[in-house]
Structure 1
Amino acid sequence: MGSQGDLLSGVATAHDLMHRVVGLQNRINQLSTQFAAKTEKKTKRHPVLYAVAGFLIAFALITSTPLKAITYPITIPFFSMGGMELQVMVWNIVNLVLSAIIGAVLYGVISKSADKGRARKNAAIDQANAQVEASNQALAQSIEQTRQEIVAVQQRWAAEVAPWYPMDYDSIDAVDFFLAAVRNHRASTVQEMANLYETERHQRRMEQGQQQILNQQRIGNMLQLGNLFMQGQILSQAQQINANTASASSNLDWIANAMGKR
């Protein structure tokens, strides 16, 4: 850097590029958190559950009071053959057979209904997944575009800043300080601004250490005052105990004297 103006221009460029690359990286980090996961389709079927449900529904219908009359006439001839016990047994068998038949029919109905419901859910899932895929692709495209912008910034840095900029100070705090120092004529060379930054940073560390010591001293003072207060309470209690003891001793002496006179 040949002159104050060249140094100011160079530091300003370094400042802009460094802030630019940090902003771009933050954008990538934010975009990366916006990716969404796709929802899995509903593919599992439950044939056993459908069959059991169909049978139970059919059996409940057949054995209900209004529908008993349908199967009861079939069992009347068995009453004369074996009495009420045989008739009831045949009636139960007939109900079970009819329940199985109707249950098979209901199984088909329930299965088809479940398949249709699952198909509707899968269609909605496919639509949602398509939106997720489109959104993820847009995010990936934005991230790739941002990466290309970072590459462009890196190329400018390598060409315009890296040859003269002290790389041990490649931080936002340092470049902000350099720009303020050169702009306010506190430094006119790279060495001066680096040395000034180290001096300022050392001073900040010293001030922080002193502030920490002051905070600890304040806490110590508070604890000391607390200890003094506790000691005062203990001393007051001891004095009260001594006073009570002296009073009790005086009373005992008076009683003893009175008894002696008698």
Structure 2
Amino acid sequence: MENKEELLSNLYTVRQGLIFIYEKQISLTELENAKRKTILIQEELVNSFGDGTKPVSENLLKWSFYAVLMGALGNIAKFLFLGLWGEGNVRELFWYLVASAVLVFLIQKKMRQHQGSWIGLGIFISLFIVLTTPLNTIYIAIKSFMSIDILAAIVFSIISVVVVAVSLILGNLFYPRWVSFINQLIDEENRKRIEDNEMRVEEYNRQIKRNEEIAREKEQCELELNQATQVLSVFGQGWYPKDYYFMDAVDFFIASLENFKADNIKELVNLYDDTQYKATQLAYQEEMLRLQQDQFINSQKMVELLRYNNYMQAMQIGQLEAIRINTAEAASYLKNLRVQEVHNHYYN
């Protein structure tokens, strides 16, 4: 460099190129976030295409339906039998019937293949509650026969047979109608599921197209970024230190030169290193690499970190030497780049 004025002018030209690179890197960060978002949406949509449930044994649900009737009739029979001696418990009958209604509700949920482990658990608990009385009645009948209590054995046997027989008769009568009603509900849910899936497929395809658009935008952005980097390499060849092509360093160089803290590029580099900003740059570059591994990159934090990123170091030597222009052409190219002015608030 012939003098400080020429050095300062060239530093501003380098800064122009670095601002352009800085802006393109920010654009790439935003595009990468958009890409990761589309991929995440696609994965969520794929997972939502199926409801994830397994087929339910129809026989199991059929006998559960019979158990509902047996439980309800058994408790009604118990209430009426005890009522003959004035000991019928209305509250107990009410809660047993509520348990029967809950069991019916849970069975239809299971038949419609709704998700939720609580449904299976609820069916098990409800079955246990509603079958307590009829199973206990059968147990008393058997115990009475074994103890040769003929009267009790006959009474409880008759009650047990009536409860089981009526449950089977009513079950055969109403189960097909109940299944038909449930199937109508299932058909309606399937129609909604198909409509939802069609909408999901449409959204999935839209996300694929968006991902393709992002890929094209990234390709163009990287092309412009690499071209600017190549030109900047040509312009700085022989006078600008290759390890200091980042915003924080050039801002420091310009501010130090304007404030008469140094007279040439060597003094500027030494001054920068002496103030330990170089150590800060290395730490920020490590943090930036960690940030890029996150599911979504913190764009605001990345803007700060990119001030310390030397994109030139990420380029291969062959890429930097691929362009064939002279220094004057490189200077003209850099000065005519369209950039947003990034004011130096760090070293003024």
TM-score (norm 1): 0.54
Q: Secondary structure at the match of 1:33?
A: helix
Match of 1:9 in 2: 9
Aligned counterparts of 2:195 and 2:58: Cα–Cα separation in 1: 19
Q: Secondary structure at the match of 1:115?
A: helix
Report which stretch shifted further, 190-199 or 165-174: 190-199
> Are residues 118 and 55 of structure 1, via their aligned partners in 2, closer, same or farther at CA, if it must alter by over 3 Å?
farther
Aligned counterparts of 2:270 and 2:244: Cα–Cα separation in 1: 11
Match of 1:21 in 2: 21
> Are residues 189 and 96 of structure 1, via their aligned partners in 2, closer, same or farther at CA, if it must alter by over 3 Å?
same
Matched, 1:148 2:223: yes
Match of 1:127 in 2: 202
Q: Secondary structure at the match of 1:144?
A: helix
C-alpha displacement of 1:105: 2.8
Q: Which amino acid aligns with 2:56?
A: V
Q: Give the structure with higher Rg (CA).
A: 1
Q: Which amino acid aligns with 2:223?
A: Q
Structure 2 residue runs without a partner (length 5+): 74-157, 280-348
C-alpha displacement of 1:57: 7.8
Q: Secondary structure at the match of 2:56?
A: helix
> Are residues 197 and 55 of structure 1, via their aligned partners in 2, closer, same or farther at CA, if it must alter by over 3 Å?
same
Matched, 1:95 2:170: yes
More helix by share: 1
2:65–2:171 contact (8 Å) kept in structure 1: no
2:256–2:268 contact (8 Å) kept in structure 1: yes
Q: Which amino acid aligns with 1:94?
A: I
1:55–1:104 contact (8 Å) kept in structure 2: no
Summarize deviations over 1:11-31 as a string: whole Å, max 9, x none: 112222223323322322233
1:50–1:110 contact (8 Å) kept in structure 2: no
Report which stretch shifted further, 113-122 or 130-139: 130-139
1:48 aligned residue (33, 46, 56): 56
> Are residues 172 and 164 of structure 1, via their aligned partners in 2, closer, same or farther at CA, if it must alter by over 3 Å?
same
> Are residues 54 and 128 of structure 1, via their aligned partners in 2, closer, same or farther at CA, if it must alter by over 3 Å?
farther
Structure 1 residue runs without a partner (length 5+): 66-82, 206-262
Matched, 1:169 2:244: yes
TM-score (norm 2): 0.43
> Are residues 88 and 42 of structure 1, via their aligned partners in 2, closer, same or farther at CA, if it must alter by over 3 Å?
closer
2:65–2:175 contact (8 Å) kept in structure 1: no
Aligned counterparts of 1:86 and 1:132: Cα–Cα separation in 2: 63
> Are residues 168 and 45 of structure 1, via their aligned partners in 2, closer, same or farther at CA, if it must alter by over 3 Å?
closer
What RMSD over aligned residues (CA atoms) do the two structures have, in Å? Answer: 4.0
> Are residues 3 and 101 of structure 1, via their aligned partners in 2, closer, same or farther at CA, if it must alter by over 3 Å?
same
